[in-house]
């Protein structure tokens, strides 16, 4: 069985048209920030315009990061499943958890989570931010692997 990757984070749902819109907003906010900076230097008024310059530059950089997909691979939340192991990365701060399929004693499927029971501990895969289609696909793949490896499935 080939490896199936299921993305749990929502940034894959952003369409190319939306990314273009983010780029346009980013360049617009950056140009407004530069314009306010030039205005501040020429007029020598540093009261409200400095806040406006800084906020426009930060908002523009934020939109450009989303539009150009910078740092996106570091924030992936995914499940990679094949017939030997399940790799689950629940959060962008945490390292992926690797589960060997042979070590699984029982699988409990809940509405928004999948629990793996081992001999000494448990692992809970939370699917709370994934779309309904992604949750169904994940559960189907887990059930097929469980039936192939003859693992008890509850739920």
> 89-104: per-residue pLDDT in tens?
888 778 899 999 999 9
Q: Which of 43-47, 66-70, 105-109, 132-136 has the lowest mean pLDDT?
A: 43-47
Can you give the pLDDT at residue 71? 66
Reply yes or no on domain 77-154 having CATH 2.30.29.
Answer: yes
Can you give the pLDDT at residue 24? 95
Kindly give, in sequence order, each residue whose CB lies less than 8 Å from that of residue 113, ignoring residues fewer than 6 positions away.
124, 125, 126, 127, 128
Q: Beta partners for 89?
A: 78
Can you give the pLDDT at residue 74? 60
Can you give the pLDDT at residue 10? 65
Tens-place pLDDT, residues 8-55: 876 666 788 888 999 999 999 999 999 888 888 888 776 777 888 889
The three-class DSSP label of residue 9 is: coil
Q: What is the mean pLDDT of residues 141-145?
A: 92
Domains in the chain: boundaries: 10-71, 77-154
User: 37 or 110: which carries more pLDDT confidence?
Assistant: 110
Q: Enter the pTM of the model.
A: 0.66
Residues 57, 26: Cα–Cα separation, whole Å: 9
The three-class DSSP label of residue 90 is: coil
Please check the confidence at residue 72 and state whether its pLDDT lies above 80: no
Question: 108 vs 17, 40, 61, 119, 152, CA distance in Å?
Answer: 40, 62, 44, 14, 8
């Amino acid at each position: 069985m080939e490896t199936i990757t299921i993305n749990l984070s929502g940034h894959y749902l952003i369409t190319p048209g939306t990314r273009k819109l983010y780029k346009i907003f980013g360049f617009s906010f950056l140009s407004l920030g530069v314009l306010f900076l030039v205005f501040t230097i020429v007029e020598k008024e540093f009261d409200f315009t400095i806040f406006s310059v800084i906020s426009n530059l930060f908002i523009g950089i934020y939109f450009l990061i989303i539009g150009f997909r910078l740092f996106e691979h570091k924030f992936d939340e995914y499940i990679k499943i094949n017939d030997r192991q399940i790799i689950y990365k629940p959060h962008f701060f945490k390292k992926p958890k690797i589960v060997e399929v042979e070590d699984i004693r029982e699988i409990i499927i809940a509405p928004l989570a999948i629990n793996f029971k081992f001999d000494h501990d448990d692992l809970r895969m939370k699917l709370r931010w994934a779309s309904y289609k992604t949750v169904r696909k994940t559960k189907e793949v887990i059930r097929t692997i469980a039936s192939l490896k003859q693992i008890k499935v509850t739920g």
